[in-house]
Amino acid sequence: MPSIIEAFQSQVGRKILTGLTGFLLLFFVIFHLAGNLAIFGDPDAMNSYSHFLHQLGPLLWIARIGLIIIFVVHAWIGISIWLGKRKARPKDYNVYSSKGGPSKQSLSSRSMAFTGFVLLVFVVIHINTFALGDAGTVVVDGEQMTDIKTLVINTFQNPIYAFGYTFVMILLGAHLGHGIWSAFTSLTLRSPKASATIYTIGAVVAVLLAAGFLFIPLYIYFGGGCEAALINCN
Amino acid sequence: MSDMTINLKIWRQKNSTDSGRFEDYLLPGVNEHMSFLEMLDVLNEKLMKEGGDPVEFDHDCREGICGSCNMVINGRAHGPKHQTAACQLHMRNYNDGDTIVIEPPRAAAFPVIKDLVVDRSALDRIIEAGGYISVKTGAAPEANLIPVPQEVSNQAFDYATCIGCGACVAACPNSSASLFTGAKLSHLNSLPQGQPERDKRSIAMVNQMEKEGFGDCSNYAECEAVCPVGISISAIAQMRRDYMKAVF
Amino acid sequence: MNLDPKIPSGPLEDKWKQHLKDVKLVSPNNKRKYSVIVVGTGLAGASAAASLAELGYNVKTFCIQDSARRAHSIAAQGGINAAKNYQNDGDSVWRLFYDTIKGGDYRSREANVYRLAENSNHIIDQAVAQGVPFGREYGGLLDNRSFGGAQVSRTFYSRGQTGQQLLLGAYQAMMKEVHSGKIQNYPRQEMLDLVVVDGKARGIITRNLVSGEIQKWYADAVVLCTGGYGNVFYLSTNAKNSNVTAAWRCHKRGAAFANPCFVQIHPTCIPVSGEYQSKLTLMSESLRNDGRVWVPKAKGDKRKPNDIPEDERYYFLEERYPSFGNLVPRDVASRNAKLVTDDGLGVGETGLAVYLDFRDAIKREGKDVIQAKYGNLFDMYENIADENPYETPMKIFPAVHYTMGGLWVDYNLMSNIPGLFVAGEANFSDHGANRLGASALMQGLSDGYFIIPYTVGNYLADNEFSKVSTDHEAFKEAAETSSKQLDKLLSIQGDKTIIEFHRELGKIMWDKVGISRSKEGLESAISQIRKLREEFWQNVRVPGEAGYYNKYLEYALRLVDYFELAELMALDAIDRNESCGCHLRDEYQSEEGEAIRNDDDYAYVAAWEYLGVNGKLETKLHKEPLEFEFVEMKQRSYK
């Protein structure tokens, strides 16, 4: 019997870990989007939410470190699978095409490594821009807190950021389009019927998440920041 | 329908160390009722008449059950038709003047022996690692002693029907043998007779699969699409389940 | 030549039991000192190898395919018989025995067939324990179906892939022993010769099909499980690589070849569509339960089948055999299909086909019912023939399917060369002049699981073995003979291809040594075969070299042996001046065209001794008389 560590290093174990971490990241992304949408709420909602998270103190740090570990594991396995691919087929086909039918090969599934890698780079930039970014402060209900909302609005006035983010969010959608179903399959979903349903649901969720995320930068950019109809800055 | 002329572009490789190359052949007189392999027979007859070297390819039963044939035709293992082995593919699926590219299944675990013939003994070694129920000849109890629900038996059959051709490996972008391994595990692990060795079998076969140099499974499900007997990738999910159960 | 069948005395029911009590045993720590070579890994070979290895012998297995799992047993569709009587329809070991010996037209040994029926039940137990997914009833117990006109339901099946599932069971048992280290498995190796030292089989010569190297292997016993020789006809339902070479080379080393003319021709195959045809595909004979066989009454009627009115159709089986109709046995159905096509009534482009029509069955029972029964077969037909059998009648024609003849063996399945055992289709033993449906799988596994392990042990315990290595003169001689033959084939560089020769040989065999034979036809076949063989050695072109993977060289080598075997088959058919089972001699039939058996003069096994080939095949006939103590010989009638 292999030890648990060995088991998770096997092909099956790695895939289970990918699925597991993928799910956790998916939940994170959903919460993140919910947080983002606070920008359309009460003028102070976004900053209050951010402030609330900051106040969690050590809990926040545990979450952050956990998230980083999950993210690194997910990315690490993804990259190793991508590298293993070459080893398993040193000489590629001259002509290759999918047979269709039950195949889940698509732009989405074939570009998992690429979209994943872009997301990896993106996350670093994203953290640098917002979490470590130069945000001012604001006083809400007598409490001083980071003015993340203004930072977001200012950042997305810049077309490079607005369109860059939009592009990456499309890739996130592509990644999840295959990823959600794949995570279920990796976590041993067997029934072919349920599998078909989940594939469709997964694709819809992927599109909704991507749309949710990319709506914000585009809206800010085209709407002119605080002038935008749905965003209430004061 | 009159005879067709087919342009063939076939991978030729002397042995495992040769780097190999494509060669082009113009083959007139292809009848729509010919099987794909019969078309290659005709090509070989022509080549031998001209003093050339015939194209080597594995084939045996030519009725879709032995699993010998496994060539990649225009980028698809066993050609364009679903649930059809190359030997059961007929030339009526092609048109006059078509170009057909034929390559061997490509995987590090399947070294080329000659032309389209590869060494698939890695699949045998996966079975050797644990793809059996250890019952000695003569030790078997009366067959009807253990009832097996019909749906369990039918499901076991669906996985047991694997012909071991390796098309799943050939078509997988990662060259994974998960469908092959999963099918045998799902067959044996689902039957009451297979329970005593279930954990040991699951671990041994999964480990051997990796040792042979097959790639990871990324759930592309291309294996299911090319499988000549249509084995579902639920076999792979079952394999993961059984493996993890065995560990914990 | 000593052809003592060594059948134990005593009542039929006790012969095998008594024999098991009498066989000598090898003690466990001595077993590991013995080595056994098993050639071929089909049902017989894989099961024998696994069982011998489990006992502790050192086993080496050889097969020509790239994996032991691909042996042609895998293609068997219908099922496997066993006398379990699970259906409570009165089946018993005796009935299975009786049906088999009667079906074989009384040309097999009572004792062997009875043992086969006895072992049938153990096979099912063994297969189920291995995880073979047989068809089951709702209650979870094993299901059976009636097959091949049997009056009881005794056939166990795994959908239409029973051979595949049983073979995978045996293959897995074999791989288990590869894992344990008791079996050394050598795929892609072709046996080219048997090595006989001091009168005993002590090893084999093989060609490594990948490297082309000629290799020598020694052992204390050799078990040959290399299948049948149907491919001598060029077109057959056999796999392309199935061949007679291993068996024939043993024959040339002294093993008697028995009843070579007994060839089963299956009536329901998809007909030949053109010159390029490489093999024939069997359609389950269950189709004749609902399909009606007919041809147009008028010669050369080119109308579409559905345009031919009822009164212009000739339902020849129904008219000639009113009581059995379309369900006459395989040999009768095949023969009649040939008769009508010989008369010019055949259909299709080649005129070598008859219709199998489901129109009336669909009208009577509805398309859904027919689809439920035969859907997969109809799909298979449509894929190959490109016609929809729900709308237009199928075209079928007989094809060579199984060879009952093979190397002569005694009750222990040992040939007349001590130490050379022969199992499965490669031996002649259990099916007489005709094999019943669902009996081939039964015989292969009975031989491999339940006979060979005991009888090989008996032989090993009973004999002294001198130390022999592959440096022995006999190994060198055999290896050189094989090498020289390869070189000779490659040196001819003529201008006819191997397949052209094989096709010509096949046509001679099919026309004259096929469904029906006559003295005149057989004699002309022999002279044609000799001429063609002569031409082959002058004018064949074998491509490439011997030092690497070269499938056409393998093919040429096999054809060499077919040329000699073909002549022996014709000689055997001439010798047998009677019609029995699948062997129909035009001269020996009643006025209504029924086979007439001659039990007074031909109730024997014809065992042929090889003397050489010198323009013609030099051979000597030995006869093993068949005695029927327990059953009465009856004439078959299906009128």
Q: Residue C574 is part of a domain; what is its CATH number?
A: 1.20.58.100
Rounded Cα–Cα distance for residues B52 and C148 (Å): 47
Of C247, C269, C250, the residue nearest C515 (C-alpha) = C269
Domain count within chain B: 2
Chain A residues whose beta carbon lies within 8 Å of the beta carbon of residue B236: 185
Query: Do C255 and C270 have their domain in common?
Result: no
Q: Give chain B positions within 8 Å (CB) of A188.
A: 237-238, 240-241, 244
Q: Do residues B44 and B155 both lie within one domain? A: no
In a domain, C321, yes or no: yes
Residue contact B143–C142, C-beta within 8 A: yes
Q: In terms of domains, do C273 and C293 share one?
A: yes
Q: CA distances (Å), C484 to each of C216, C477, C540, C546, in order?
A: 15, 11, 16, 11
- Regarding whether B127 and B233 lie in a shared domain, the answer is yes
Distance linking the first and last C-alpha atoms of chain A: 63
Which of the four pLDDT bands, split at 50, 70 and 90, describes residue A234?
low
Per the CB < 8 Å rule, is C278 touching B193?
no
Q: Do B187 and C210 touch (CB under 8 A)?
A: no
Chain B touched by C119 (CB under 8 Å): no
Which residues are CB-contacts of C303 (< 8 A; sequence separation ≥ 6)? C296
Whether chain B has a CB inside 8 Å of the CB on A85: the answer is yes
SS (H, E, C) C573-587: HHHCCCCECCECECC
Shared domain check, C453 and C573: no
Given C400, C421, C441, the domain boundary residue is C400
Asked if B120 lies within 8 A of C66 by C-beta distance, the reply is yes
CB C270 within 8 A of CB C398: no
- Say if C and A touch: at least 3 Cβ pairs within 8 Å: no
Q: What is the pLDDT of residue B97?
A: 97
pLDDT along chain C (639 residues), means of 10: 94 97 95 97 98 98 98 93 96 96 95 98 98 96 85 91 97 98 98 97 98 97 98 97 98 98 95 92 87 95 94 95 86 90 92 95 93 86 93 96 98 98 96 93 98 98 93 98 97 96 98 96 98 98 96 98 98 97 93 88 98 96 97 83
- Specify the pLDDT at position C638: 72
CATH number at residue B136: 1.10.1060.10
Tell which wins on pLDDT, C151 or A183: A183
CB contacts, 8 Å: A175 with chain B: none
Question: What subunits make at least 3 CB pairs under 8 angstroms with A?
Answer: B
DSSP notation for C349-367? TTS--EEEE-HHHHHHH-H
Choose the mutation target among C59, C81, C136 for the interface with B, i.e. most B CBs under 10 Å: C136
Q: Which of residues 154-193 of A touch B (CB under 8 A)?
A: 178, 181-182, 185-192
Please check whether residues C251 and C290 belong to one and the same domain: no
Same domain, B240 and B167: yes
CA distances from B94 to B36, B37, B242, C270, C514 (A): 10, 14, 43, 22, 36
Q: Is the pLDDT of residue A42 over 90?
A: no
A102 inside 8 A of chain B by CB? yes
Same domain? B127 vs B67: no
**A–B interface: beta-carbon pairs under 8 A:** 152
Cβ contact C611:C619 at 8 Å: yes
* Under 8 Å between Cβ of A212 and A33: yes
Best mutation target among B55, B65, B154, B158 (most C Cβ atoms within 10 Å) is: B65
The residue to which tokens 């359309």 are assigned: A40
* C620 belongs to a structural domain: no
What's the confidence (pLDDT) of residue C592?
A: 76
Q: What is the CATH number of the domain that holds C141?
A: 3.50.50.60
Rounded Cα distance, C96 and C82, in Å: 8
Check CB contact of C243 with chain B, cutoff 8 Å: no
Amino acid at B218: S
For C289, which DSSP code?
G
Per-residue pLDDT at A229 exceeds 90? no
Task: Examine the domain organization and report whether C41 and C113 are in the same domain.
Answer: yes
Of B199, B206, B213, the CB nearest to A88: B213
- Indicate which residues of C carry an active-site annotation: 330
Same domain (yes/no): C354, C431: no
- Identify the pLDDT of residue C78: 83
Chain-chain contact of A93 with B72 (C-beta, under 8 angstroms): yes
Burial class (CB in 10 A: 0-12, 13-18, 19+), C139: exposed
B177 and B101 in a common domain: no
Size of interface B-C (CB pairs under 8 A): 222
Rounded to 10 deg, the angle between the C498-512 and B36-49 helix axes is 120
Please report the pLDDT score of residue A226 as a whole number.
84
CA-based nearest distance A29→chain B, Å = 22
Q: Please state the φ and ψ torsions of residue C268, each to the nearest 5 degrees.
A: -110, 80
**Residue C389 CB partners (closer than 8 Å, separation 6+):** C358, C378, C381, C382
Output the CATH code of domain A4-91+104-227: 1.20.1300
- Amino acid letter for position C455: T
Same domain, B151 and B231: yes
- Among A190-194, B230-234, C162-166, the range scoring the smallest mean pLDDT is A190-194
DSSP structure class, residue A224:
T
Query: What tokens appear for C408 in the block?
Result: 């002569």
Q: Where among B114, B136, B154 does a domain terminate?
A: B114
- Would you put residue C142 in left (φ > 0), alpha (ψ -120 to 50) or beta? beta
User: Which residues 414-473 of chain C have a CB within 8 Å of chain B?
Assistant: 449-450, 453
- Are C384 and C487 found together in one domain? no
- Based on the domain organization, do B102 and B133 belong to the same domain? no
Q: Which of A90, A103, A188 sits opposite B237 (nearest CB)?
A: A188
Q: Domain range for residue C296?
A: 265-400
pLDDT digits (tens, 9 = 90+) for B101-146: 999 999 999 999 999 999 999 999 999 999 999 999 999 999 999 9
Q: Which of B41, B54, B136 sits opposite C278 (nearest CB)?
A: B41
Q: How many CA atoms lie within 13 A of A125 on its CB side?
A: 12
Check residue C2 and give its pLDDT: 87
Residue B1 pLDDT: 54
What's the farthest any 2 CA atoms get from each other in chain B?
A: 64
E strands, C453-603, are 496-497, 540-541
Contacting subunits of B (3+ beta carbon pairs below 8 A):
A, C
Structural contact between residues A131 and A60, judged by C-beta atoms closer than 8 angstroms: no
What does the alpha-carbon distance between residue A28 and residue A68 come to, in Å, rounded to a whole number?
A: 11
Q: What confidence score (pLDDT) does residue A224 get? A: 78
The whole-angstrom separation of Cα C565 and Cα C314 is 38
Residues B130 and B108 in one domain: no
C113 in a structural domain = yes
**C26 & C74 share domain:** yes
Tell me, yes or no, whether C610 lies in a domain.
no
Cross-chain residue pair B54–C552, CB shorter than 8 Å: yes
Helices C498-512, C519-539: crossing angle, 10 deg rounding: 170
Contacts of A85 in chain B (CB under 8 A): 173-175, 215-216
CATH of the domain at B9: 3.10.20.30
Last residue of a domain, one of B97, B114, B131: B114
What's the pLDDT score for residue C599?
97
Shared domain check, C406 and C396 = no
Contact call for B243 and A102, based on CB within 8 A? no
C423, part of any domain? yes
3-state secondary structure of C10: coil
Asked if B236 and A98 come within 8 Å (Cβ–Cβ), the reply is no
- Render pLDDT for B48-101 as a digit per residue (tens, 0 to 9): 999 999 999 999 999 999 999 999 999 999 999 999 999 999 999 999 999 999
Domain hosting B230: range is: 121-247
Q: Are residues C178 and C222 in the same domain?
A: yes
- Does any CB of chain A come closer than 8 Å to the CB of residue B52? no
Task: Test A99 with B171 for CB contact under 8 angstroms.
Answer: yes
Answer yes or no: do B125 and B221 share one domain: yes
Domain final residue, candidates C360, C376, C400: C400
Neighboring chain C residues of B157 at a CB cutoff of 8 Å: 133, 158-159, 165
Q: How far apart are CA A168 and CA B233, in angstroms?
A: 31
Residue C4 neighbours by CB distance under 10 Å: 9
Angstrom CA distances, A111 to A99, A178, B219, C62, C341, stand at: 18, 10, 13, 45, 61
- C366 and C413 belong to one structural domain: no
Q: Which of A85, A105, A191 shows the shortest C-beta gap to B234?
A: A191
Work out how many domains chain C is built from and give that number: 3
Q: Are residues B10 and B84 in the same domain?
A: yes
Given this model, what pLDDT does residue A228 score?
A: 81
By CB atoms closer than 10 A (0-12, 13-18, 19+), residue C469 is: exposed
Check CB contact of C72 with chain B, cutoff 8 Å: yes
Contact C69 B188 (CB under 8 A): no
Give the residue extent of every domain in chain A.
4-91+104-227
Give yes or no for a contact between C72 and B62, defined as CB atoms under 8 angstroms apart: no
Contacts of B241 in chain A (CB under 8 A): 188, 190
**Chain B residue with minimum CA distance to C385:** B33
Does residue A97 belong to the interface with chain B, where contact is any CB pair within 8 Å? yes
Distances (CA, A) of B75 to A99, B70, C31, C35: 9, 12, 51, 46
Same-domain check for residues B59 and B129: no
Q: Are residues C417 and C375 in the same domain?
A: no
Contact C157, C148 (CB under 8 A): no
Q: Tell me whether residues A188 and B247 touch, CB distance under 8 A.
A: no
